[in-house]
Every structure is written in structure tokens, then in C-alpha cells.
Amino acid sequence: MPRRQVVITAHNGVHARPVAEIVRVVQAHPHAVTLRTSTGAVVDLSSVLALMDLGLTSGDVVVLETADSAGADRMLDTLSGVLDPRR
């Protein structure tokens, strides 16, 4: 399973604008994509509310994961770039 560990550096953490971009990218992907926090919470990234409820802030470390597929690595790279624009 492809996965990425990301340190969130997005200004003001994960607020409405990055969440909308993440959900848009995930909904175009054919497989489920999950985000795991350092506390062990796991959410499906196709849900705006689930992601917003985490209250992720700059400096938080998360792990993104999805099933093997042709576009999985590219999609995870895109999501990583939203969460960590300094990459």
C-alpha cells in the first residue's frame, strides 16, 4: 500500500480551502484514501467533515494511505503538496 508521512506546514493548518482541495483530489481517485494522525485517529479523506473535525494544525504529522493503483503515488504526492506546500 502506498503511503506518505507528511508534516503539515500549510499556513493556519488544515482549514476549509485545503480541505476542499484534498477532498476534490480524493474523490477523483478510484480507491479510498485515509489519513492517520499521530494519536491514531483514522479518517476517510473523501469526507470534508471528518477531516475538519480533526483540527489539524501546522506541525502535526499525518500518514496518508491508499490502495495500490496506477495513479496512487501521484495522487499521494498531490495531497502531500496541499498539506506541506514547502515540499
Q: Look at residue 59 in the predicted model and tell me its pLDDT.
A: 95
Element housing 42 (H / E): strand 42-44
pLDDT score, position 12: 82
Mean pLDDT of the chain: 94
Domains of the chain: 3-83 (3.30.1340.10)
Residue 40, SS3 per DSSP: coil
Local confidence band at 87 (pLDDT 50, 70, 90 cut-offs): confident
pLDDT in tens, 65-85: 999 999 999 999 999 999 999
Cα–Cα distance for residue pair 12/4, rounded to 1 Å: 21
Mean pLDDT score, 47-58: 94
pLDDT of 78 reads 96
